[in-house]
Structure 1
Amino acid sequence: MNRRQLLAALPGAAMTALPLVAEAQTVERTLKGLASAKGLLYGAAVANWQSDRDALLRRTFSRQCAAVVPEWEMKWGIIEGTRGQRNYSAPDRIVSFASSHRLAVRGHPAIWHRNLPRWVDGALKTEGETVIVEHIRDLLTHYKGKITSWDIVNEAIEPKDGQPDSLRNSVFLRHLGPDYIARCFEIAAQADPGIQAFYNEYGLYHNDAPDTARRAAVLKLLAKLKSQGAPIYGLGIQGHLTVGRPFNPSTFASFLREVAALGLKIMITELDIDDRRLTQTISERDRLVAEMATQFLTVALDERAVEGLLTWGLSDKYSWLNSTTNQTRTDGTMNRCLPYDEKFDRKPFWFALADAFNRAPRR
């Protein structure tokens, strides 16, 4: 597929915004450059095993991205599998990769209910808050001066669990109570007062019952954190979209305005677009993925509280949606979920990103 065909695969409304003369300019410019021109940040997730093996991935990161977020390496289970034996070698390699390619690093995550060391549950039960104080303080102190933007608490909402305020029935809630979230932000600020501390959550964008409930619960949580004086900087909206699930631009725009009205900044933190429901040809799937990207990004980037976005990877080749443990499609093809295909050729998704940055209001 050539460049003109790729651009033609984008929705018509997006195409009319780009005159023919701008086509070559957009193709030759980078995503980080287009984003930076509007005061936005663009980056992506990576794992060590991916960057170690793939020089093309490293070159693409260096050219297209201004920031990187570790896909797994900073999770608690990686760092401290055995109590008291903290090993930062894996996340340090991500930081080294970033430094060698002049990328900012986003810390992810300090506290998450998954990928926990086995010992954490019992330790929380007997020692309480001391356990999270030690972890957060050591993690943020280790990267003080190297990482300023952090997901401090990740995915603490789950309406299906039936808990008060729709909090997730995690080991943290069970052993520390509902105020553990505010305490995490306080502990983080004490460890490194200079950070931008985010609450990060998924399921905030589709216009169906599960996402509607989660949006309401997250707004309630954010308002409570603000009322408690928690030093929270912003909301991370993951952006794991699925083609075929309903999306209402006005509903999502209203949600973003409500977050911004709380005095919070917003980052799109884990954008990818799942095409598992599509049965069309690959070219048609690519067009529909780009169409959803355009709809979502038009709304997201129009909100001036949004400071940028990170895709959850660059290439379909390395997406979690195509991993051996999470093969989302049953027809033998890859999920076409990221800006580049498995050969690192640009897809319509890439051009949707470029166009969205190009049309975004300047910060």
Structure 2
Amino acid sequence: MPYRRILARSRRPVALAVATAAMLTVAQTATAATTLRGLAEAQNRYFGTALTDGNLNNSTLTNVAGAQFDMVTPGNEMKWDTTEPSNGGYNFGPGDQIVTWAKSHNDRVRGHNLVWHSQLPGWVSSLPSNQVQGAMEAHITTEATHYKGQLYAWDVVNEPFNEDGSLRQDVFFNAMGTGYIADALRTAHAADPNAKLYLNDYNIEGQNAKSNGMYNLAQSLLAQGVPLNGIGFESHFILGQVPSSMQANMQRFADLGLDVAVTELDDRITLPASSANLQQQAADYAAVVKDCLAVSRCVGVSQWGVGDADSWIPGTFPGQGAATMYDQNYQPKPAYNATVTALGGSTGGGGSTTGELHAVGAGKCLDVPNSSTTGGTQVQIYSCSGAANQVFTHTSSGQLTVTEAGTTLCLDANAKGTTNGTKVIIWSCNGQTNQQWNLNANGTITGVQSGLCLDVNGASTANGALVQLWTCNGQSNQQWTLG
């Protein structure tokens, strides 16, 4: 279906965002070796995100974006309704802000976009047919010239196809016929000859009528000598629906001599997201990354937005969301860990990993007091001894188990609590989400049910300091290593 991919504005208070961002810095610096950008670069690819100028005011968001991503796509700032709201009246300020931010973080930029039927100012649609080509060429030339030499690539024509593989009958097609796409590409190349030029669309990820239409168009353009360099696969997926033919489909475009890229990845879930949903999402993300890595001309993957808090999905698909690798608080979800693993990194967690859980800030270990086997005993930190009451196993189902005197118990959020200060206890294992934990690449351990972090009360470093759940903040009393 047609849709408007306008990124949501962050709803987090700025003061909280600034404070949280400062606290996240320590954790993200410590894990730079396993960032998405670092792992992708090791595979000669990039891992990108989309940002709006409004996002730049949210330090929590930009802290994650700067650490994790090395390619930026402006969410709205280079679209026609922003850059030329009136005929001949240009506004590049918002786009310039995105480019400046990207440069300051050593990121490249994908220009998005030059020609699209949506977010198009009314004056374009109102033009007499014989003036549309001139307006399109002038717009492309002016915008591409403004950013000449500053961008990695342009989505020159965005979403040109109907679902049946025919071209949309928009203002450009109606005025110029099928030739408008070749004209747009030639015009963009003349203005910015070093930028990679893409056609970008959704629902072309698998082999189907729409992707066949794109494939036939690409063949035709290349046969005409049109400067087309790549195809963008938007990849706005519904949970569990990543096409099995995605790798083969990307490969056939690559075989034409074109680059391919995953340009707007997200994976929407019917809310509220269950633990099983989040695990399926993790599998979906891993599948997409692996498909890209299997195609030598797949240059990279970009997620559409940084986290669930700034995702476009809830505003466009009511009742759906949780579509990204980061939650509402910009903490990593299972999809992040799966992506890290797919890129060849290590998340520090995962199935059947056993050892002491070291509290980084205190230099001590998670400990069951007095080797108790009584359900409801709150865990603490204590000098590491290697004893059974300090040895935990992260199971394939996400539990953290401890075995003492032949009794295996699970780490548990007391009374299924989801508020700050909830006690972390041991309890008989029952498979419920308050006993499931994500071991994240940034060193945090988050409860699947609550999304809160395993936290040493008061950042204490003393033996006997109790462990609780608390809003994730990146401080060292929320950093753990297993083994």
TM-score range for the pair, normalised by the shorter chain length? 0.7 to 0.9
Residue among 113, 122, 131 paired with 2:117: 113
- Answer yes or no: is the 8 Å Cα contact 1:46–1:69 preserved in 2: yes
Matching residue of 2:258: 264
Aligned to 2:343: 357
TM-score normalised by length of structure 1: 0.83
Report if aligned partners of 1:272, 1:338 keep a CA contact under 8 Å in 2. Answer: yes
User: 1:14-93 counterparts in 2 under 5 A?
Assistant: 29-52=34-57, 54-93=58-97
Q: State the percentage of identical aligned residues.
A: 31
Tell me what 1:253 maps to.
247
Q: For each residue in 1:6-48, what CA deviation from the matched residue of structure 2 results, as whole angstroms up to 9, or x when unmatched?
A: xxxxxxxxxxxxxxxxxxx989610000000110111100111
Say yes or no: does 1:174 pair with 2:174: yes
Tell me the distance in 1 between the aligned counterparts of 2:280 and 2:142. 44
Matched, 1:329 2:312: no
Note the alpha carbon deviations across 1:68-120, whole angstroms, 9 max, x for none. 11001110011111111111111111112112222111100111110111111
Amino acid paired to 1:351: N
Distance in 1, matches of 2:36 and 2:275, equals 22
2:307 aligns with one of 291, 307, 315 = 315
| Structure 1 pair 223–66 and aligned structure 2 pair: CA distance change class (3 A) | same
Alignment match, 2:130? 126
Aligned counterparts of 2:105 and 2:286: Cα–Cα separation in 1:
29
Query: In structure 2, the residue corresponding to 1:135 is in which secondary structure?
Result: helix
Quote the Cα distance in structure 2 between the aligned partners of 1:109 and 1:319: 19
> Are 1:339 and 2:325 matched, yes or no?
yes
Cα offsets for 1:211-266 (capped at 9, x unmatched): 71111111111111111111011111111111143632xx2222112101111011
- Any conservation in 1 of the 2:240–2:284 contact (CA below 8 Å)? no
3-state DSSP of counterpart to 2:323: coil
- Tell me, what secondary structure is at the counterpart of 1:241? strand
Cα distance change on mapping 1:29 and 1:182 into 2, 3 Å = same
Measured after TM superposition, the shift of residue 143 of structure 1 is 0.4
> For residue 94 of structure 1, what is the aligned residue in structure 2?
98
Amino acid at match of 1:253: Q
For residue 275 of structure 1, the aligned residue among 248, 259, 269 is 269
Offset at 1:205? 2.7
2:43 and 2:338 mapped to 1: Cα distance?
16
Larger fraction in helix: 1
Deviations 1:243-291, CA, capped at 9 Å, x for gaps:
143632xx22221121011110111100000112x77x53222111111
Q: Distance in 2 between matches of 1:65 and 1:214?
A: 30
Larger strand proportion of the pair: 2
Deviation of 1:124 (Å): 5.3
Residue matched to 1:144: 148
TM-score relative to the length of structure 2: 0.63
Contact kept? 2:242, 2:288, Cα under 8 Å: no
Q: RMSD value over aligned CA atoms?
A: 1.9
Report if the CA contact (8 A) 1:159-1:167 is conserved.
no
Q: CA deviation at 1:135?
A: 0.3
Q: Distance in 1 between matches of 2:147 and 2:128?
A: 24
* Cα distance in structure 2, aligned partners of 1:345 and 1:358: 21
- Counterpart of 1:108 in 2: which secondary structure? strand
2:122 counterpart SS class: coil
Write the distance in 1 (CA, Å) between the matches of 2:322 and 2:97: 28
Greater relative CO (CA pairs within 8 A, separation 6+): 1
1:299 and 2:304 matched: no
CA distance in 1, matches of 2:342, 2:43: 11
Q: 1:242 to 1:318 in 2, by over 3 A?
A: same
Partner of 1:205: 205
**What's 1:242 paired with?**
238
- Residue 97 of structure 2 aligns with an amino acid whose one-letter code is R
SS in structure 2 of the partner of residue 109 of structure 1 = strand
Q: Which residue of 2 aligns with 1:224?
A: 220
Tell me if structure 2 keeps the 8 A contact 1:159–1:217. no
Asked if the contact 1:121/1:171 (under 8 Å) is kept, the reply is yes
CA distance in 2, matches of 1:28, 1:178: 47
CA distance in 2, matches of 1:98, 1:299: 27
Q: Which runs of 5+ in 1 are unaligned?
A: 1-24
Check whether the contact 2:289–2:342 (CA below 8 A) recurs between aligned residues: yes
SS of match in other structure, 1:173: helix
Which structure 2 residue ranges, 5 or more long, are not aligned? 1-29, 346-483
Counterpart residue identity of residue 47, structure 2: Y
Larger Rg over CA atoms: 2
Q: Which runs of 4+ in 1 moved over 6 A?
A: none
Look up the equivalent residue of 1:294 and give its one-letter code. A
Task: For residue 296 of structure 1, report the CA deviation from its aligned partner.
Answer: 2.6
Secondary structure at 2:127 match in 1:
helix
Paired letter, 2:336: W
What is the rounded CA distance, in whole Å, between the counterparts of 1:128 and 1:51 in structure 2?
A: 35
Kept in 2: contact 1:43–1:310 (CA 8 A): yes
Shift of 1:327: 4.5
Over 3 Å counting, the alpha-carbon distance change for 1:82 and 1:128 in structure 2 is closer
Residue identity matched to 2:281? V
Q: Which amino acid aligns with 1:82?
A: S
Counterpart of 1:295, as a letter, is A
Supply the distance in 2 between the matched residues of 1:316 and 1:68 (Cα, whole angstroms).
Answer: 17
1:298 Cα offset (Å): 1.8
Correspondence for 1:16 = none
Tell me the residue number matched to 1:154.
Answer: 158
